[in-house]
Amino acid sequence: MKKRVCVLGLGYIGLPTSVIFADNGWEVTGVDINESVVEQLNNGQVHIEEKGLPDLLTKVVENKSFIAQYIPQKSDVFIITVPTPLNPDGSANLNYVKDAVESIIPVLEKDNIIIIESTIPPRTTRDVVAPILGNAGFDPENDVYLAHCPERVLPGKILYELVENNRIVGGINSLSANKAADVYRTFVNGKIMETSTESAEMSKLMENTYRDVNIALANELTKISNTLGIDTLEVIELANEHPRVNIHQPGPGVGGHCIAIDPYFVMEKDRKNSTLMHTARAINESMPDFVINQVTKLVSKGSKISVLGVAYKGNVDDVRNSPSIDIIEKLINEGYEVNVYDPFVKQNQVNFKLDTIKDTVDSTDLVLILTDHECFKELDWSKFNYGVNNINVLDTKNVLEKIPSNINYYNFGYLPQMSQELQKV
Ligand code: SAJ
């Protein structure tokens, strides 16, 4: 008989996870509280954008290895992939996780495996999840197998990374880690590392915190280099020639739902000792204002600014916490005429108007590139009407490779009004 897995929360992680299990010999029940999501999925329609997902969903719906419904059903394994948003006070909102765990209690049986994939603050599996099971009459260390297996896949490459990435599986005890690891062994090609729930929780958070701190370093370097008239991008390139150095890239801020959020899950547990993480967050959050400050050096209020890119990173449609949104809204409020183009983002995702590339760039005073979409590299600049003057381009993501001759080009290595002595070699 096929093994059964019930996945709770059919979003960016839960849905791809469900279809991968279904495609690897499991009988999968996907659970979501959103009626229209359940209905759409059972019709083979995907509600999120992810490469390869529509085809795989159609396959597993047709061969009946995947079905979506509102409530959990009896299973061998329960996987929880619900969101953990940030509370206004900077702590993690664990309500969805708690509700999901409560919702499996009526169908939970001895020897079932329960895996939390949602990103959670350190100690949550032991201090929050285990007691819910305990209160329901299950000994979380002996009656069931409880584990945390953080998801670490990159949007846009989820189906590939779910199979190929290494996975950390933290158990409430070693037997739980072992049982949960066996679940992933049915389709993961990467290494599976067994550990405690605490180490699994903390290592996931530290991966993203490491990136946040490193990006903050690059952003701080940009500000200092701007004062001193030094090309940051060149400095990073040179420093990274060292075999043990990997300074990240500066940019207009850190968006998405992971790198900008995860440090807070660590900080909430020990505010006194998390000063570096706190400072890194503040530096990255200051970048939209830094960009606006550069804009004011190039054009005056009322000028037309053409923003290219709303998504928080290149080649995806995701606008969650995107620094572009902050920058666009502030520029509009400050009285600029802001036109916006993003080929990945749909009008209903944002509160401002999106235009075509031509309407966005024609007769502009400044092109402001905020996202590193690959297609921006291929823009045919000769198709735009510029009027008489050269146009200014401020490329915060260092996207353009060939710079047309009638453009005054600036990036984070060469910012407006930088010292004229800055030598371009
Ligand atoms: N960014 C920079 N400079 C850089 C790299 C990124 O400014 O050098 C910015 C990007 O523009 C973007 C943000 O940071 O606004 C985040 O982008 P990202 O692609 O680095 O990360 P995410 O949030 O899409 O995905 C991360 C990944 N974590 C790591 O690479 C350690 C991914 O593997 C995780 O699965 C995901 O977080 C998650 O779910 O935690």
In this predicted model, what pLDDT tens digit does every residue of 282-299 receive, in sequence order? 999 999 999 999 999 999
* Ligand 1 contact, 399 CB (< 6 A): no
Looking from the CA of residue 153, the nearest atom of ligand 1 is 35
pLDDT at 248: 98
Q: Is the pLDDT assigned to residue 421 strictly greater than 90?
A: no
pLDDT at 155: 83
pLDDT band per the 50, 70, 90 thresholds, residue 406: confident
pLDDT band per the 50, 70, 90 thresholds, residue 255: very high
* Ligand 1 contact, 150 CB (< 6 A): no
On the CB side of 348, how many CA atoms lie within 13 Å of its CA? Answer: 0
pLDDT at 336: 98
Enter the pTM of the model.
0.93
Q: Which DSSP helix (H) or strand (E) runs through 145?
A: strand 145-148
* Ligand 1 contact, 373 CB (< 6 A): no
Tell me if 31 sits within 8 A of 10, measured CB to CB. Answer: yes
pLDDT at 1: 82
pLDDT at 388: 63
Q: Is the pLDDT assigned to residue 163 strictly greater than 80?
A: yes
In this predicted model, what pLDDT tens digit does every residue of 209-252 receive, in sequence order? 999 999 999 999 999 999 999 999 999 999 999 999 999 999 99
Q: How far apart are CA 369 and CA 307, in angstroms?
A: 6
In this predicted model, what pLDDT tens digit does every residue of 351-393 receive, in sequence order? 999 999 999 999 999 999 999 999 999 998 888 887 667 789 9
Q: Is the pLDDT assigned to residue 192 strictly greater than 70?
A: yes
In this predicted model, what pLDDT tens digit does every residue of 93-112 receive, in sequence order? 999 999 999 999 999 999 99
Q: Is the pLDDT assigned to residue 49 strictly greater than 90?
A: no
In this predicted model, what pLDDT tens digit does every residue of 257-268 receive, in sequence order? 999 999 999 999
Question: Which residue numbers are catalytic?
Answer: 204, 258
Range list of H helices, 157-286: 158-164, 174-185, 197-228, 232-239, 262-267, 275-285
Looking from the CA of residue 257, the nearest atom of ligand 1 is 23
pLDDT at 383: 86
Q: Output the average pLDDT for the chain.
A: 95
Q: How far apart are CA 360 and CA 236, in angstroms?
A: 32
* Ligand 1 contact, 307 CB (< 6 A): no
